[in-house]
Structure 1
Amino acid sequence: MGKQMANCAHPVGFYLETSFHYEVYKNIIAALQERGIPCALVISDVIQPAFVSEMVSFLKKLARPDLPILRLSTLHYQPVSLSCLVSPYYTPLIKNLAPINVRAMYGLAKDRWGHAWWNAFYDGILCYAMHTQQRVNIAGNARLVGNPRFDDWHNRRWDPSLAEMLARQKTRPVVLYAPTFGELCSLPHWAETLNRLQSEVTLLVKLHHGTQFRAEEAKSLALATRYFRKNMLPASSFSLLAAADYVITDNSGFIFDALHAGKKTILLEWAGLAPLLHNQRTLSDSHSTDQTVRQFLPCVNSLAQLRQALSDRQTWPEMEAYRWQVCDAFQDGKAGERAADVISELLNQSGVDGDHFLLHSLRERLF
């Protein structure tokens, strides 16, 4: 795909509910700016105050004068003309903010959520690979671009100092623990057990932003702080992945970050997990990607099983084909450019495409 250019007087907006969303967007923004397309950040300042405070603090440190910051609350009574809005998922808060809407995926897992009806809201969906494209495509709106966030991994744009420091001091394996949040989080069931493992491994811990900032996650955050305060380092996901020999997680989308990075990945289970996957109790179920991947990866229920998985006796599956099919169809560090091409193409379109009548008809009925 060659570079798509667009004449664009109004900025492309990028919707944020957490600073993590900036990491999802930044390589798309860079590629659009290279084409002369102005961009702006739209922060949701009507959600939980802890998330708003975290975003404001992050953006102050970011210091990007080339990226205007627009507050969602202001846009609703003082509209700013946006040519397009890019968002990670649909929320009624973003309805009618722009004539064109594009979804930039922020991760995999929780298919009952990620592949749901609201994908019809989008004129374009930027898909990592065939796995998602096949499941959300309506009249060609799902486009294959790869994972723009992982451009930094493939182009080695991350701080290697943690990996280098741990490599110099290495006497035992480095294990990265990255749990999800909510009912599917392993922290209440595994924190004490993993703490006991610290005499055998160098343990790094990466908490989900939901655990860090949602008020209802206070107990899990307190548990993590109690056992792992010294293990939670202020390093990027890619710096942590580069340092890790193994990744331990649960039902998190971080499973697929670990697989994308080629890491040996172990999944935690516990008594009571299975019922959470039935009767729509959570956003996951037995057919969701975060569950079906378990047929390939070691899953453990006890410290003894975890030690076995961390031993040299564990046979690790070859996941290369899975990475291409699910994590990133290209893995070449150019996903941001392809995403910008899709957005530019949409900006150059005029009116309703008759070939996409089904999509527009669904949108009129649903939204």
Structure 2
Amino acid sequence: MKDCPNNNADIGFIAQVPYHFYVFKNIIKHLSDAEFIVGEPYSYDEPPEIQSKRLGGLIDLIEKEKIPWRFFDFEKDRNPRNNFFEKYNILVATTANGIITSPLIKSIKKVRVQYGQSKDAFEFGDWNRYFDLILAQGPYSAQHFRALTQCVEIGFPKFDDWFNGKIDGADAGELKSKMDPRKKTLLYLPTHGALSSLEKYREIFSALRNKYNILVKFHPRTVWHDSGQVLFYKNNGFATYDDSADILPMLKIADIVISDSGGAAFDALLAEKSLVILDVPIAAEETGELQTQENSIEQVIKRERKRIGPVVDSPDKLESALEIAEQEKNGDENGEGNYFHLLMVKTASAPPERF
């Protein structure tokens, strides 16, 4: 594979899926001594055809922005004798899986960029101790991270273009041109796995297509590891997007965002969009396996006095919740802004000092 490395790079940003590009792009573009590292498997049991498609989508995004990148051949370059990592002083990642935990890079400083507001039990797990520094979105996360390692609050680089007013351009216009102007537009952002609402709500979403434009943006793990759910929505007339697509233009044209137990609810909050939350019940004995818990923030925002939008616990209640959301801006009873400032430090465009 022909890569395009930065010969002066001593900072490597490890990107496994297209979504990681959007997390890192507004940091790496300010650093002349950095490059993406591409090629580490997202899952070690993924089929070769899935791996090829995933890498292709990621590389296309990187090359479109003319950002240097270097290919990491997992089978060859994890051999210490190949000295793949000896040029780096710092490695940057979103989680501690794969090479980040390897003794091979023990002497290299490791930085984590928080990629969104995830489930607390996972987000603030002991694995964060692998990192020498964590760049956190805001005070809620920072207070947890500081119990594990050093932490600095930087806001959410993925949203820099949103807060700098750069999302009114061609991408949002192209999306809007595909929508029926007579209908409101729903942006559905389901999480993956057992907490996902994809299967339970797919019939009601099919029925609602007559009334609404519906965009479905899948979680990266759904895209690469749950093709059956993806195919249902693709084959039944929905406008579907994988993690190669930028969420910000979708948020721009959306009238209402629908989420479940994933971090996407907080993207809607940051974008000040009306939000409907689909609550997928889970048994108490499953909470550990699913890495959620009663006091996890994605569960707290569903409570009556804490909620940031209507909460729906069965498909037959979704349409009425949408009608409420159409008529009024949703927010938690304590003020939506309270969550915003708890979860995120709003920043201007990312200067090099952010890193």
3-state SS in 1 of match to 2:240: coil
Structure 2 residue ranges without an equivalent (≥5): 1-6
Instruction: Give the equivalent residue in structure 1 for 2:4.
Output: none
Write the letter of the residue equivalent to 2:294: S
- Alignment match of 1:261 (pick from 257, 271, 280): 271
CA change 1:210–1:277 in 2 (3 A) is farther
Instruction: Give the equivalent residue in structure 1 for 2:35.
Output: 39
Asked if structure 1 preserves the Cα contact closer than 8 Å seen for 2:163 and 2:348, the reply is: yes
Distance 1:269 1:40 in 2: 37
Structure 1 residue ranges without an equivalent (≥5): 1-7, 344-367
Moved more, 143-152 or 90-99: 90-99
- Alignment match of 2:298 (pick from 290, 294, 298): 290
Instruction: Give the equivalent residue in structure 2 for 1:86.
Output: 92
Shift of 1:14: 0.7
CA change 1:157–1:275 in 2 (3 A) is same
Aligned residues: percent identity? 23
More RCO (CA 8 Å, sep 6+): 1
Write the letter of the residue equivalent to 1:174: T
Instruction: Give the equivalent residue in structure 1 for 2:144.
Output: 135
Shift of 1:240: 0.8
Shift of 1:140: 6.2
CA change 1:59–1:201 in 2 (3 A) is same
Matches within 5 A, 1:234-249: 235-249=245-259
Moved more, 302-311 or 173-182: 302-311
Asked if structure 2 preserves the Cα contact closer than 8 Å seen for 1:109 and 1:288, the reply is: no
Is 2:224 aligned against 1:213?
Answer: yes
3-state SS in 1 of match to 2:288: coil
CA change 1:140–1:283 in 2 (3 A) is closer
Shift of 1:13: 0.5
Write the letter of the residue equivalent to 2:40: S
CA change 1:51–1:267 in 2 (3 A) is farther
CA change 1:123–1:155 in 2 (3 A) is same
TM-score with structure 2 setting the length: 0.82
TM-score with structure 1 setting the length: 0.80
Instruction: Give the equivalent residue in structure 2 for 1:179.
Output: 190
Instruction: Give the equivalent residue in structure 2 for 1:16.
Output: 15
Is 2:321 aligned against 1:321?
Answer: no
Higher helix share: 1
Write the letter of the residue equivalent to 1:177: Y
Instruction: Give the equivalent residue in structure 2 for 1:341.
Output: 353
Is 2:118 aligned against 1:109?
Answer: yes
- Runs ≥4 in structure 1, deviation > 4 angstroms? 276-279, 312-315
Write the letter of the residue equivalent to 1:39: E
Shift of 1:233: 5.2
Instruction: Give the equivalent residue in structure 2 for 1:99.
Output: 108
Asked if structure 1 preserves the Cα contact closer than 8 Å seen for 2:153 and 2:345, the reply is: yes
Instruction: Give the equivalent residue in structure 2 for 1:165.
Output: 177
Distance 1:232 1:220 in 2: 11
